[in-house]
Structures are given as C-alpha cells and as structure tokens.
Amino acid sequence: MNSSSRRLILASTSPFRRELLTRLGVSFETAAPEVDETRRENESATELVARLAAAKARAVGAWEPGLVIGSDQVATLGETVLGKPGSHEQAMEQLLLLSGHAVTFQTGLCLLDSENDTQQLDVVPFTVHFRELDAAQIDRYLRHDQPYNCAGSFKSEGLGITLFKRMEGDDPSALIGLPLIRLTAMLENAGVLLP
C-alpha cells in the first residue's frame, strides 16, 4: 500500500502544521476538528496533549475515512502550562517570565486509521533555553513577529529564534507543532511509503 492509495487528512486548520506536512511531499486534505481543549483537573501536560491529539483525530475520523493526523501542543515552564498570550501585554509578561529559563514543548501526535479504528499515539518533547532578555528586546521582538496566537509567545520559524540560547530535542519540527520525524515512522507503519 502506498501514499497514493490512502487518503490522508490533517485534523487541523493551523497554517504552521499544514506547511510542515507539505514537506513530506504527500497529498493531504485538512479538516477542522471540533474538540473541547479544556485541561482536566490534575491532567499533566503530556496527558493533555496526548488526549487532545487523539480526540482531534477521532473527531475528524468519525466522518472522514482515511488516515487522520491529530496534533496538539503545550509549552511548560516547570509544572506550569503556558497558554497562548492573546495580546501584546500578556506576551510581554510571558516572555519576561521565560527569560533565562528552559521551556519544554510537549507535542501530542496521533495517526488514526479511521477505516479500521487503529491509532498510533506519541508525545514528542522539545526544549528551548531562552537567553536573558530585557523588556526592550522583548517589545521589539513582539512588534516584529506578533506571536499572540502562539504558545510561549514566539515563532521559532521567524525572528523568535533570536530569543534562544540553545535548543534540545530529537525533532525540531515538533517545536512548530507537528513532529515530522515521528510522523514519518507512523505513516510508514500504516503502509504509506515515503522516500
């Protein structure tokens, strides 16, 4: 079975995830999953992203036959889950908090075969170590990239890379929200041939 015989659906409307998936050179469609993303009481970051990645894939797979990719991501500073800032002021606060610290991004990834109801599920971590940043640096960065809809208040694929001292992890695409190295292995397990 090869990629031309399997329908591939990305359960996301994220332009970042869509752009990442195009790197694999496979044909795919996108669909918006209808999922409540509220964190449950006492749910860890890894439990949260695994549950939401699977829920997104299953929400789309319930009405779309094929291989459905679900993904979800959170940023954590220690045990604190960081949300999307939503505004310049909140992004300033978040980046001042992150200055000089390590932030771990947990990215849940699910590949659901909705035709036989089997799934592969994993959580891929990636850690970013921030430089010591002052308010003027952060303000200049935010006015340039305006990452108000991004967990952690930065876009690593943009000028956000200048905020980092170093990065560590097995899959840099996990930082953007879709771990392509792990996804490649999942797709091959499902019979999709990639180069």
Active-site residues, by number, are 72
Decide: helix, strand or coil at residue 49. helix
Sign of CA dihedral 121, 172, 155, 141: positive
Q: Residue 91: CA atoms inside 13 Å, Cβ hemisphere, count? A: 24
- The shares of helix, strand and coil residues in the chain, as percent rounded to the nearest 5, are 35, 25, 40
80, β-bridge pairs: 77
Do the bridges between strand 118-130 and strand 164-169 make them parallel or antiparallel, or are there none, so unpaired?
Answer: antiparallel
